């Protein structure tokens, strides 16, 4: 992607045309990243808007010589992380305080309705803690290197490796138990 750092300088000065151009250039990248973590188009669009709002309220923090796409990726991932944590808290609260249902658990329902038969894997991935889920998706789906993930998440490379190891282990365990419950 050809990107002119001058656009960022103009956007920092409040140039609306430059801001619009940044949105136009980078919205496919933001959409692709957010799509990795959320499955509904409305959620993806809302989060992408949140990302750009954050970007333009904090654009003064970007130095013109800094890698703007890298910074934008960090903002996007952090926004997704915050939303995943909020969703997880809401779901946990619902499980504890929500109406009790005698029906099958959600994961099992997803398994039977998934046309591609990836329902078990998807449910296992959904059940992962965002701290583990994000590095795993960035590595396996987004195909980022450990160094890039570390930079994006603001953690050390060792920490990324530890999280990846734990994520794979947990994923394998919950995959096994979900497959078991499917039978």
Chosen residue from 9, 10, 12, 45 binding another protein by CB under 8 A: 45
* Cβ-based nearer residue to another protein, 13 or 96: 13
Chosen residue from 7, 8, 11, 44 binding another protein by CB under 8 A: 44
148 interacts with another protein by CB under 8 A: no
66 interacts with another protein by CB under 8 A: no
Pick out residues in 128-147 that bind another protein (CB under 8 A). Answer: 137, 140-141, 143
Which of these segments, 37-45, 60-68, 90-98, 154-162, binds another protein (CB under 8 A)? 37-45
36: closest CA among 147, 126, 167?
A: 126
Torsion of the alpha carbons at 116, 119, 122 and 124, rounded to the nearest 10: -150
> Where do the H-state alpha helices sit in the chain?
5-12, 16-37, 41-57, 68-97, 106-113, 119-126, 130-140, 146-153, 157-182
Q: Which two tokens stand for residue 34?
A: 């957010």
The nearest distance, CB 98 to another protein, in angstroms, is 26
């Amino acid at each position: 992607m050809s990107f002119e750092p001058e656009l960022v300088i103009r956007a920092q000065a409040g140039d609306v045309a430059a801001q619009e151009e940044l949105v136009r250039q980078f919205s496919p990248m933001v959409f692709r990243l957010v799509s990795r973590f959320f499955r509904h188009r409305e959620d993806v669009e809302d989060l992408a808007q949140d990302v750009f709002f954050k970007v333009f309220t904090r654009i003064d923090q970007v130095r013109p010589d800094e890698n703007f796409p890298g910074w934008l990726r960090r903002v996007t991932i952090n926004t997704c992380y915050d939303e995943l944590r909020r969703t997880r808290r809401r779901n946990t609260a619902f499980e504890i305080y929500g109406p009790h249902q005698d029906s099958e658990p959600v994961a099992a329902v997803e398994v039977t309705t998934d046309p591609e038969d990836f329902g078990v894997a998807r449910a296992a991935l959904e059940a992962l803690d965002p701290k583990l889920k994000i590095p795993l998706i960035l590595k396996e789906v987004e195909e980022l290197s450990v160094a890039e993930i570390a930079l994006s998440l603001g953690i050390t490379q060792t920490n990324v490796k530890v999280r990846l190891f734990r994520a794979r282990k947990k994923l394998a365990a919950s995959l096994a138990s979900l497959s078991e419950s499917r039978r």
